[in-house]
A and B are shown apart, each in its own frame.
Chain A
Amino acid sequence: MLKMPHLQKILASFALAFLLLVTACSPSPPSRFEQAQQESTQPKVTAVSPEAKAGGEFNRFFPQSKDVVFSQEKRGFAQAKLKQDGKEMATLSIVDLNDNSAAIAKYEDSLETVGGYPVVEVGSTGTGLLIDNRFQVKVLSRDPDFSSSDRRLWLEKFDLAGLGNMAVATGEENE
Protein backbone atom coordinates (compact mmCIF):
# COMPACT_ATOMS: atom_id res chain seq x y z
CA MET A 1 0.00 0.00 0.00
CA LEU A 2 1.23 3.48 -0.85
CA LYS A 3 2.00 5.84 1.93
CA MET A 4 -0.24 8.92 2.07
CA PRO A 5 2.46 11.52 1.36
CA HIS A 6 3.48 9.55 -1.70
CA LEU A 7 -0.13 9.41 -2.94
CA GLN A 8 -0.49 13.12 -2.40
CA LYS A 9 2.57 13.77 -4.56
CA ILE A 10 1.17 11.63 -7.34
CA LEU A 11 -2.21 13.32 -7.13
CA ALA A 12 -0.61 16.74 -7.08
CA SER A 13 1.46 16.02 -10.18
CA PHE A 14 -1.63 14.64 -11.95
CA ALA A 15 -3.59 17.72 -10.98
CA LEU A 16 -0.80 19.96 -12.26
CA ALA A 17 -0.54 18.06 -15.54
CA PHE A 18 -4.31 18.24 -15.95
CA LEU A 19 -4.33 21.96 -15.28
CA LEU A 20 -1.58 22.55 -17.85
CA LEU A 21 -3.43 20.45 -20.40
CA VAL A 22 -6.67 22.34 -19.88
CA THR A 23 -5.12 25.80 -20.04
CA ALA A 24 -3.03 24.91 -23.07
CA CYS A 25 -5.98 23.55 -25.01
CA SER A 26 -8.64 26.05 -24.03
CA PRO A 27 -9.63 28.32 -26.92
CA SER A 28 -8.81 32.02 -26.81
CA PRO A 29 -11.46 34.08 -25.03
CA PRO A 30 -14.45 34.95 -27.19
CA SER A 31 -14.38 38.28 -28.96
CA ARG A 32 -16.43 41.11 -27.48
CA PHE A 33 -18.26 41.16 -30.84
CA GLU A 34 -19.18 37.46 -30.69
CA GLN A 35 -22.77 38.14 -29.61
CA ALA A 36 -23.38 40.51 -32.53
CA GLN A 37 -21.86 37.86 -34.82
CA GLN A 38 -24.25 35.18 -33.51
CA GLU A 39 -27.34 37.39 -33.71
CA SER A 40 -26.60 38.80 -37.15
CA THR A 41 -26.08 35.39 -38.74
CA GLN A 42 -29.46 33.96 -37.75
CA PRO A 43 -31.72 33.12 -40.69
CA LYS A 44 -33.74 35.96 -42.20
CA VAL A 45 -32.21 38.77 -40.17
CA THR A 46 -30.96 41.85 -41.99
CA ALA A 47 -28.92 44.86 -40.92
CA VAL A 48 -30.82 47.29 -43.13
CA SER A 49 -34.59 47.38 -43.47
CA PRO A 50 -35.90 47.06 -47.03
CA GLU A 51 -38.28 49.90 -46.04
CA ALA A 52 -35.37 52.31 -45.57
CA LYS A 53 -35.03 55.17 -48.06
CA ALA A 54 -32.47 54.86 -50.85
CA GLY A 55 -29.32 56.71 -49.81
CA GLY A 56 -29.41 58.89 -52.94
CA GLU A 57 -32.62 60.53 -51.71
CA PHE A 58 -30.59 62.20 -48.95
CA ASN A 59 -27.96 63.83 -51.15
CA ARG A 60 -29.90 67.05 -51.75
CA PHE A 61 -30.18 67.77 -48.01
CA PHE A 62 -26.40 67.91 -47.43
CA PRO A 63 -24.68 71.28 -46.95
CA GLN A 64 -23.97 72.91 -50.30
CA SER A 65 -20.24 73.45 -50.34
CA LYS A 66 -17.27 72.67 -52.57
CA ASP A 67 -15.61 71.26 -49.46
CA VAL A 68 -18.22 68.49 -49.22
CA VAL A 69 -17.28 65.34 -51.17
CA PHE A 70 -19.76 62.47 -51.22
CA SER A 71 -18.19 59.22 -50.07
CA GLN A 72 -20.83 56.53 -49.45
CA GLU A 73 -24.37 55.91 -50.61
CA LYS A 74 -26.13 52.75 -49.46
CA ARG A 75 -29.71 51.89 -48.60
CA GLY A 76 -30.79 54.11 -45.71
CA PHE A 77 -27.45 55.90 -45.59
CA ALA A 78 -25.53 58.68 -47.29
CA GLN A 79 -22.18 60.08 -46.22
CA ALA A 80 -19.87 62.87 -47.30
CA LYS A 81 -16.47 64.08 -46.17
CA LEU A 82 -15.73 67.64 -45.23
CA LYS A 83 -12.33 68.54 -46.66
CA GLN A 84 -10.51 71.74 -45.96
CA ASP A 85 -7.15 72.41 -47.62
CA GLY A 86 -7.05 68.76 -48.66
CA LYS A 87 -7.42 67.64 -45.06
CA GLU A 88 -10.36 65.56 -43.87
CA MET A 89 -11.93 67.54 -41.02
CA ALA A 90 -15.23 65.70 -40.50
CA THR A 91 -17.70 63.23 -41.93
CA LEU A 92 -21.32 64.21 -42.49
CA SER A 93 -24.09 61.65 -42.72
CA ILE A 94 -27.83 61.13 -42.94
CA VAL A 95 -29.26 57.77 -41.85
CA ASP A 96 -32.76 56.34 -42.00
CA LEU A 97 -33.30 54.90 -38.50
CA ASN A 98 -36.43 53.14 -39.69
CA ASP A 99 -36.35 50.21 -37.27
CA ASN A 100 -33.30 51.08 -35.20
CA SER A 101 -35.03 51.82 -31.90
CA ALA A 102 -31.76 51.73 -29.91
CA ALA A 103 -30.35 54.61 -31.97
CA ILE A 104 -33.59 56.60 -31.58
CA ALA A 105 -33.74 56.01 -27.81
CA LYS A 106 -30.56 57.99 -27.12
CA TYR A 107 -32.40 61.23 -27.99
CA GLU A 108 -34.96 60.74 -25.19
CA ASP A 109 -32.78 62.55 -22.69
CA SER A 110 -31.74 65.30 -25.07
CA LEU A 111 -31.94 68.76 -23.53
CA GLU A 112 -30.72 70.76 -26.51
CA THR A 113 -31.99 71.44 -29.99
CA VAL A 114 -30.58 72.67 -33.28
CA GLY A 115 -33.13 74.04 -35.76
CA GLY A 116 -35.83 72.80 -33.39
CA TYR A 117 -34.61 69.17 -33.49
CA PRO A 118 -33.09 67.28 -30.54
CA VAL A 119 -29.32 66.86 -30.54
CA VAL A 120 -27.01 64.62 -28.49
CA GLU A 121 -23.28 64.16 -28.17
CA VAL A 122 -22.35 60.60 -29.18
CA GLY A 123 -19.07 59.44 -27.69
CA SER A 124 -16.24 61.94 -27.75
CA THR A 125 -16.21 62.76 -31.47
CA GLY A 126 -19.80 62.90 -32.70
CA THR A 127 -22.94 65.02 -32.55
CA GLY A 128 -26.26 63.60 -33.74
CA LEU A 129 -29.61 65.19 -34.52
CA LEU A 130 -32.92 63.37 -34.85
CA ILE A 131 -35.72 64.34 -37.22
CA ASP A 132 -39.20 63.02 -36.44
CA ASN A 133 -37.98 59.76 -34.91
CA ARG A 134 -36.82 58.74 -38.38
CA PHE A 135 -33.73 60.41 -39.83
CA GLN A 136 -30.45 60.91 -38.00
CA VAL A 137 -28.08 63.64 -39.14
CA LYS A 138 -24.60 63.23 -37.72
CA VAL A 139 -21.35 65.16 -37.84
CA LEU A 140 -18.22 63.32 -36.71
CA SER A 141 -14.89 65.04 -36.10
CA ARG A 142 -11.94 63.57 -37.99
CA ASP A 143 -9.43 66.16 -36.88
CA PRO A 144 -8.76 67.26 -33.30
CA ASP A 145 -9.23 70.88 -34.38
CA PHE A 146 -12.83 70.22 -35.38
CA SER A 147 -14.69 70.88 -32.12
CA SER A 148 -18.15 70.10 -30.80
CA SER A 149 -19.27 73.64 -31.68
CA ASP A 150 -17.97 73.14 -35.25
CA ARG A 151 -20.12 70.03 -35.43
CA ARG A 152 -23.23 71.98 -34.40
CA LEU A 153 -22.39 74.69 -36.92
CA TRP A 154 -22.28 72.11 -39.70
CA LEU A 155 -25.48 70.41 -38.49
CA GLU A 156 -27.23 73.73 -39.10
CA LYS A 157 -25.98 73.79 -42.68
CA PHE A 158 -28.01 70.69 -43.61
CA ASP A 159 -31.45 71.31 -45.11
CA LEU A 160 -33.13 70.14 -41.89
CA ALA A 161 -36.54 71.51 -42.86
CA GLY A 162 -36.39 69.62 -46.15
CA LEU A 163 -35.57 66.40 -44.30
CA GLY A 164 -38.42 67.17 -41.89
CA ASN A 165 -40.83 67.41 -44.83
CA MET A 166 -39.58 64.10 -46.20
CA ALA A 167 -40.03 62.49 -42.76
CA VAL A 168 -43.65 63.73 -42.61
CA ALA A 169 -44.34 62.52 -46.17
CA THR A 170 -42.76 59.13 -45.37
CA GLY A 171 -44.91 58.83 -42.24
CA GLU A 172 -48.08 59.52 -44.22
CA GLU A 173 -47.12 56.97 -46.89
CA ASN A 174 -46.78 54.33 -44.21
CA GLU A 175 -50.16 55.05 -42.62
Chain B
Amino acid sequence: MSKTIYELVDDLPERNLTIFALNSLDFVIPGQWQNLTGFENTIREITGETDEAIIQQIGDRAVWLYNDKSQGYQQALWLYQTIDRAGSALGSAALANKVGEKIPLLGFLNRLTPKADRAQTLDLSLKLVVEIVAYCRINGIPGDSIGDFVAALVDNYTGPSLMRMSALVCFDGLIPLGTNFLSQVETTLNNLSPKALEDNESYQRIHDSIPGNSTTGKLEFINRSFESVQGWMGDLVRDRDLTAEKVADRLSSFIDFSEGKLDYLAAFLDVSTNYYEHTGIQTLARSLIERAVAEI
Protein backbone atom coordinates (compact mmCIF):
# COMPACT_ATOMS: atom_id res chain seq x y z
CA MET B 1 0.00 0.00 0.00
CA SER B 2 1.25 3.43 -0.77
CA LYS B 3 2.18 5.69 2.12
CA THR B 4 -0.16 8.18 3.71
CA ILE B 5 0.76 11.85 3.48
CA TYR B 6 1.71 11.93 7.16
CA GLU B 7 3.94 8.88 6.73
CA LEU B 8 5.65 10.45 3.70
CA VAL B 9 6.50 13.59 5.67
CA ASP B 10 7.30 11.72 8.90
CA ASP B 11 9.67 9.40 7.01
CA LEU B 12 11.72 12.16 5.36
CA PRO B 13 15.34 11.47 6.34
CA GLU B 14 17.26 13.93 8.47
CA ARG B 15 20.71 12.73 7.50
CA ASN B 16 21.76 11.14 4.26
CA LEU B 17 23.68 12.00 1.11
CA THR B 18 20.78 13.99 -0.35
CA ILE B 19 20.67 16.20 2.74
CA PHE B 20 24.47 16.65 2.73
CA ALA B 21 24.39 17.61 -0.92
CA LEU B 22 21.54 20.08 -0.42
CA ASN B 23 23.11 21.61 2.65
CA SER B 24 26.29 22.21 0.62
CA LEU B 25 24.21 24.65 -1.47
CA ASP B 26 23.46 26.89 1.49
CA PHE B 27 26.00 29.35 0.05
CA VAL B 28 23.73 29.73 -3.01
CA ILE B 29 20.57 30.54 -1.03
CA PRO B 30 21.81 31.35 2.49
CA GLY B 31 19.44 30.29 5.25
CA GLN B 32 16.51 29.76 2.91
CA TRP B 33 16.11 26.01 3.25
CA GLN B 34 15.93 23.99 6.41
CA ASN B 35 15.31 20.28 6.17
CA LEU B 36 11.82 20.39 7.66
CA THR B 37 10.59 16.88 8.47
CA GLY B 38 7.65 15.37 10.36
CA PHE B 39 4.02 16.05 9.50
CA GLU B 40 2.94 17.72 12.76
CA ASN B 41 6.19 19.63 12.92
CA THR B 42 5.58 20.92 9.39
CA ILE B 43 2.05 22.06 10.31
CA ARG B 44 3.40 23.96 13.31
CA GLU B 45 6.26 25.57 11.37
CA ILE B 46 4.18 26.65 8.39
CA THR B 47 1.11 27.91 10.20
CA GLY B 48 2.71 29.10 13.45
CA GLU B 49 -0.31 27.50 15.11
CA THR B 50 -0.06 26.22 18.68
CA ASP B 51 -3.69 25.27 19.38
CA GLU B 52 -3.78 21.43 19.41
CA ALA B 53 -7.41 21.21 18.30
CA ILE B 54 -6.66 23.43 15.30
CA ILE B 55 -3.54 21.40 14.43
CA GLN B 56 -5.70 18.27 14.46
CA GLN B 57 -8.23 19.90 12.11
CA ILE B 58 -5.50 21.13 9.73
CA GLY B 59 -3.88 17.68 9.61
CA ASP B 60 -7.21 15.92 9.09
CA ARG B 61 -8.18 18.28 6.27
CA ALA B 62 -4.76 17.86 4.62
CA VAL B 63 -5.19 14.06 4.76
CA TRP B 64 -8.60 14.36 3.09
CA LEU B 65 -7.31 16.67 0.36
CA TYR B 66 -4.29 14.47 -0.35
CA ASN B 67 -6.45 11.34 -0.65
CA ASP B 68 -8.88 12.94 -3.12
CA LYS B 69 -7.15 11.86 -6.33
CA SER B 70 -8.95 14.52 -8.36
CA GLN B 71 -7.00 17.16 -6.46
CA GLY B 72 -3.72 16.24 -8.17
CA TYR B 73 -1.44 15.91 -5.14
CA GLN B 74 -0.72 12.22 -5.63
CA GLN B 75 0.15 12.75 -9.26
CA ALA B 76 2.55 15.53 -8.34
CA LEU B 77 4.29 13.17 -5.91
CA TRP B 78 4.49 10.49 -8.59
CA LEU B 79 6.17 12.96 -10.95
CA TYR B 80 8.75 14.07 -8.37
CA GLN B 81 9.54 10.44 -7.55
CA THR B 82 9.60 9.18 -11.11
CA ILE B 83 11.96 11.81 -12.52
CA ASP B 84 14.35 11.08 -9.67
CA ARG B 85 14.44 7.35 -10.26
CA ALA B 86 15.85 7.47 -13.76
CA GLY B 87 19.00 5.74 -12.56
CA SER B 88 19.54 4.58 -9.02
CA ALA B 89 22.17 1.94 -9.65
CA LEU B 90 23.93 2.94 -6.45
CA GLY B 91 21.02 2.30 -4.16
CA SER B 92 21.01 3.66 -0.67
CA ALA B 93 22.20 0.26 0.62
CA ALA B 94 25.60 0.64 -1.04
CA LEU B 95 26.02 4.06 0.54
CA ALA B 96 24.27 3.65 3.87
CA ASN B 97 27.48 2.93 5.73
CA LYS B 98 29.25 5.83 4.05
CA VAL B 99 27.29 8.58 5.76
CA GLY B 100 29.54 10.38 8.19
CA GLU B 101 32.78 9.57 6.42
CA LYS B 102 34.21 11.06 3.29
CA ILE B 103 33.15 9.12 0.23
CA PRO B 104 35.96 8.28 -2.18
CA LEU B 105 34.54 8.74 -5.65
CA LEU B 106 37.39 6.64 -7.02
CA GLY B 107 35.78 3.55 -5.50
CA PHE B 108 32.63 4.03 -7.57
CA LEU B 109 34.11 5.00 -10.94
CA ASN B 110 33.54 1.60 -12.50
CA ARG B 111 29.87 1.80 -11.59
CA LEU B 112 29.28 5.30 -12.94
CA THR B 113 28.59 6.30 -16.51
CA PRO B 114 28.65 10.04 -17.17
CA LYS B 115 25.87 11.11 -19.50
CA ALA B 116 26.54 12.51 -22.92
CA ASP B 117 25.90 16.25 -23.03
CA ARG B 118 22.74 15.89 -25.04
CA ALA B 119 21.23 13.36 -22.64
CA GLN B 120 22.19 15.59 -19.74
CA THR B 121 20.61 18.72 -21.25
CA LEU B 122 17.47 16.76 -22.00
CA ASP B 123 17.29 15.40 -18.45
CA LEU B 124 17.61 18.91 -17.09
CA SER B 125 14.79 20.09 -19.38
CA LEU B 126 12.55 17.23 -18.31
CA LYS B 127 13.15 17.98 -14.65
CA LEU B 128 12.04 21.53 -15.38
CA VAL B 129 8.91 20.23 -17.07
CA VAL B 130 8.18 18.09 -14.01
CA GLU B 131 8.65 21.19 -11.87
CA ILE B 132 6.03 23.11 -13.84
CA VAL B 133 3.55 20.26 -14.26
CA ALA B 134 3.81 19.29 -10.58
CA TYR B 135 3.42 22.94 -9.63
CA CYS B 136 0.15 23.11 -11.59
CA ARG B 137 -1.09 19.82 -10.09
CA ILE B 138 -0.43 21.16 -6.59
CA ASN B 139 -1.40 24.80 -6.92
CA GLY B 140 -3.61 24.92 -10.01
CA ILE B 141 -2.98 27.86 -12.32
CA PRO B 142 -3.26 30.85 -10.01
CA GLY B 143 -4.42 34.24 -11.23
CA ASP B 144 -6.10 35.39 -14.42
CA SER B 145 -3.20 35.91 -16.82
CA ILE B 146 0.08 34.40 -18.00
CA GLY B 147 1.78 37.20 -16.06
CA ASP B 148 -0.03 36.13 -12.88
CA PHE B 149 1.00 32.53 -13.50
CA VAL B 150 4.70 33.23 -14.06
CA ALA B 151 4.68 35.60 -11.05
CA ALA B 152 3.12 32.83 -8.92
CA LEU B 153 5.56 30.23 -10.25
CA VAL B 154 8.65 32.31 -9.51
CA ASP B 155 7.17 33.54 -6.23
CA ASN B 156 6.77 29.89 -5.28
CA TYR B 157 10.56 29.54 -5.33
CA THR B 158 10.98 29.75 -1.61
CA GLY B 159 12.02 27.09 0.91
CA PRO B 160 12.07 23.59 -0.59
CA SER B 161 11.08 24.74 -4.10
CA LEU B 162 13.91 27.28 -4.15
CA MET B 163 16.33 24.60 -2.98
CA ARG B 164 15.15 22.16 -5.66
CA MET B 165 15.62 24.74 -8.40
CA SER B 166 19.04 25.72 -7.05
CA ALA B 167 20.07 22.06 -6.96
CA LEU B 168 18.82 21.67 -10.53
CA VAL B 169 21.00 24.57 -11.65
CA CYS B 170 24.04 23.33 -9.71
CA PHE B 171 23.90 19.52 -9.87
CA ASP B 172 22.23 19.04 -13.26
CA GLY B 173 23.48 22.21 -14.97
CA LEU B 174 26.76 23.62 -13.76
CA ILE B 175 28.63 20.48 -12.66
CA PRO B 176 27.99 18.27 -15.69
CA LEU B 177 27.75 20.99 -18.35
CA GLY B 178 29.66 24.01 -17.12
CA THR B 179 28.79 27.68 -16.80
CA ASN B 180 27.20 27.98 -20.24
CA PHE B 181 24.72 25.17 -19.60
CA LEU B 182 21.71 27.35 -20.41
CA SER B 183 22.81 28.00 -23.97
CA GLN B 184 23.61 24.28 -24.36
CA VAL B 185 20.08 23.37 -23.28
CA GLU B 186 18.64 25.96 -25.65
CA THR B 187 20.67 24.62 -28.58
CA THR B 188 19.76 21.01 -27.80
CA LEU B 189 16.06 21.76 -27.52
CA ASN B 190 16.03 23.81 -30.73
CA ASN B 191 17.59 20.96 -32.68
CA LEU B 192 15.80 18.08 -31.02
CA SER B 193 13.65 15.82 -33.18
CA PRO B 194 10.48 14.25 -31.78
CA LYS B 195 12.10 10.85 -32.40
CA ALA B 196 15.14 11.71 -30.29
CA LEU B 197 12.83 12.87 -27.51
CA GLU B 198 10.90 9.60 -27.64
CA ASP B 199 14.17 7.69 -27.25
CA ASN B 200 14.94 9.40 -23.94
CA GLU B 201 14.36 7.14 -20.95
CA SER B 202 13.04 9.86 -18.61
CA TYR B 203 10.68 11.10 -21.29
CA GLN B 204 9.29 7.59 -21.74
CA ARG B 205 8.33 7.48 -18.08
CA ILE B 206 6.61 10.83 -17.81
CA HIS B 207 5.36 11.64 -21.33
CA ASP B 208 1.72 10.97 -20.42
CA SER B 209 1.88 13.81 -17.90
CA ILE B 210 3.33 16.38 -20.30
CA PRO B 211 0.68 18.60 -21.93
CA GLY B 212 0.43 18.21 -25.72
CA ASN B 213 -1.42 15.86 -28.07
CA SER B 214 1.66 14.60 -29.90
CA THR B 215 5.39 14.33 -29.32
CA THR B 216 5.79 17.55 -31.31
CA GLY B 217 3.24 19.27 -29.07
CA LYS B 218 4.98 17.97 -25.96
CA LEU B 219 8.33 19.14 -27.31
CA GLU B 220 6.82 22.62 -27.69
CA PHE B 221 5.67 22.51 -24.07
CA ILE B 222 9.19 21.50 -22.99
CA ASN B 223 10.59 24.45 -24.94
CA ARG B 224 8.11 26.87 -23.41
CA SER B 225 8.80 25.53 -19.91
CA PHE B 226 12.50 26.12 -20.41
CA GLU B 227 11.91 29.64 -21.78
CA SER B 228 9.70 30.59 -18.82
CA VAL B 229 12.39 29.88 -16.20
CA GLN B 230 15.58 30.35 -18.23
CA GLY B 231 15.81 34.00 -17.13
CA TRP B 232 15.40 33.07 -13.47
CA MET B 233 18.14 30.42 -13.69
CA GLY B 234 20.51 32.76 -15.56
CA ASP B 235 19.99 35.43 -12.89
CA LEU B 236 20.76 32.96 -10.12
CA VAL B 237 24.05 31.94 -11.77
CA ARG B 238 25.02 35.58 -12.45
CA ASP B 239 23.94 37.07 -9.11
CA ARG B 240 25.77 34.42 -7.12
CA ASP B 241 28.65 34.21 -9.59
CA LEU B 242 28.21 30.43 -9.60
CA THR B 243 30.65 28.06 -11.28
CA ALA B 244 30.99 24.30 -11.37
CA GLU B 245 34.21 24.61 -9.39
CA LYS B 246 32.57 26.57 -6.57
CA VAL B 247 29.77 24.03 -6.24
CA ALA B 248 32.21 21.11 -6.42
CA ASP B 249 34.39 22.75 -3.79
CA ARG B 250 31.49 22.67 -1.31
CA LEU B 251 30.77 19.04 -2.12
CA SER B 252 34.38 18.13 -1.44
CA SER B 253 33.66 18.33 2.28
CA PHE B 254 32.03 14.92 2.06
CA ILE B 255 33.00 13.52 -1.34
CA ASP B 256 36.60 12.87 -2.23
CA PHE B 257 37.21 13.40 -5.94
CA SER B 258 39.98 14.63 -8.17
CA GLU B 259 39.69 17.67 -10.40
CA GLY B 260 38.75 16.96 -13.97
CA LYS B 261 36.24 14.35 -12.88
CA LEU B 262 33.26 16.65 -12.69
CA ASP B 263 31.25 14.53 -15.11
CA TYR B 264 31.74 11.57 -12.77
CA LEU B 265 30.78 13.72 -9.80
CA ALA B 266 27.55 14.66 -11.62
CA ALA B 267 26.85 11.00 -12.40
CA PHE B 268 27.49 10.10 -8.76
CA LEU B 269 25.06 12.75 -7.48
CA ASP B 270 22.51 11.59 -10.02
CA VAL B 271 22.49 8.01 -8.77
CA SER B 272 23.05 8.61 -5.07
CA THR B 273 20.63 11.44 -4.26
CA ASN B 274 16.89 11.96 -4.65
CA TYR B 275 16.63 15.69 -4.13
CA TYR B 276 13.61 16.07 -6.42
CA GLU B 277 11.57 13.58 -4.40
CA HIS B 278 12.81 14.82 -1.03
CA THR B 279 12.15 18.52 -1.57
CA GLY B 280 9.08 17.67 -3.67
CA ILE B 281 7.41 16.06 -0.65
CA GLN B 282 8.28 19.15 1.38
CA THR B 283 6.82 21.46 -1.29
CA LEU B 284 3.67 19.36 -1.55
CA ALA B 285 3.16 19.27 2.21
CA ARG B 286 3.56 23.02 2.40
CA SER B 287 0.89 23.82 -0.22
CA LEU B 288 -1.43 21.17 1.17
CA ILE B 289 -1.17 22.53 4.71
CA GLU B 290 -1.62 26.11 3.53
CA ARG B 291 -4.80 25.07 1.76
CA ALA B 292 -6.04 22.94 4.66
CA VAL B 293 -5.70 25.76 7.17
CA ALA B 294 -7.74 28.04 4.90
CA GLU B 295 -10.49 25.44 4.55
CA ILE B 296 -11.16 24.55 8.16
Contact = CB atoms under 8 A, between A and B. Distances in A.
Contacts of B294: 77, 79, 91, 93, 95, 136, 138, 140
Contacts, number: 127
Nearest to A56: B144
B51 interface: yes
B73 to A, nearest CB: 10
Interface stretch (A9-17, A122-130, A167-175): A122-130
Interface in B177-227: none
B50 A124 contact: yes
A102 B56 CA distance: 14
A142 B48 contact: yes
A65 to B, nearest CB: 13
Nearest to A62: B143
A80 B139 CA distance: 11
B112 to A, nearest CB: 38
A32 interface: yes
B63 interface: yes
Contacts of A46: 68, 70
Interface string A76-99: 011111010000100101010100
A101 to B, nearest CB: 12
B295 A77 contact: yes
A71 B142 contact: yes
Interface residues of B, number: 44
Contacts of A142: 48
Contacts of B158: 88
Given A32-B56, A72-B140, A103-B295, A141 B48 contact: yes
B156 interface: yes
B174 interface: no
Interface in B28-51: 39-40, 47-51
Contacts of A154: none
A69 B54 contact: no
Which of A36, A39, A75, A138 lies at the interface centre, i.e. has the most chain B CB atoms within 10 A of its CB?
A36
A59 interface: yes
Nearest to A144: B48
Contacts of B259: none
A100 interface: yes
A74 interface: yes
Contacts of B142: 70-73, 78-80
A163 B241 CA distance: 48
A71 B155 contact: yes
Most B Cβ at <10 Å: residue of A37, A41, A77: A37
A103 B157 CA distance: 31
A47 interface: yes
A64 B155 CA distance: 18
A37 B62 CA distance: 10
Nearest to A35: B60
Given A103-B295, A122-B296, A33 B63 contact: yes
5 nearest A-B pairs in the assembled complex, by CB-CB distance = A123-B54, A47-B68, A93-B294, A70-B142, A73-B140
22 contacts: A31-B4, A31-B39, A33-B63, A40-B64, A46-B68, A46-B70, A47-B71, A48-B71, A69-B155, A70-B143, A72-B139, A72-B140, A74-B139, A74-B140, A75-B71, A79-B142, A91-B294, A123-B47, A123-B49, A123-B54, A124-B49, A140-B294
Interface of A: 31-33, 35-37, 39-41, 46-48, 55-56, 59-60, 69-75, 77-81, 83, 88, 91, 93, 95, 97, 100, 102-103, 122-126, 136, 138, 140-142, 144
Interface of B: 4, 6-7, 10, 39-40, 47-51, 54, 56, 59-61, 63-65, 67-68, 70-72, 138-144, 148, 151-152, 155-156, 158, 287, 290-291, 293-296
Given A125-B48, A136-B295, 18 more contacts: A32-B59, A36-B59, A37-B67, A47-B64, A55-B140, A69-B151, A70-B142, A71-B139, A72-B142, A73-B142, A73-B143, A74-B139, A79-B291, A91-B290, A100-B295, A123-B54, A124-B50, A124-B51
